[in-house]
Amino acid sequence: MFRVTIRGAFGPLDDAGRAALRAGTDGAVPGYTEAGSFTCDAGLSSFTFRCQVAPPPPGQEEDEEGWATLRALEALEAHGHPHRVLRVGVTDMRAIKIRRKGGSGQRAERRAR
Q: What is the pLDDT of residues 23-54, one digit of tens each?
A: 876 556 678 988 888 888 888 889 999 999 99
Residues in the chain: 113
Under 8 Å between Cβ of 78 and 59: no
| Average pLDDT of the segment spanning 4-21 | 90
Provide the whole-model pTM.
0.77
Q: Which of 68, 72, 86 is nearest to 37 (CA)?
A: 72
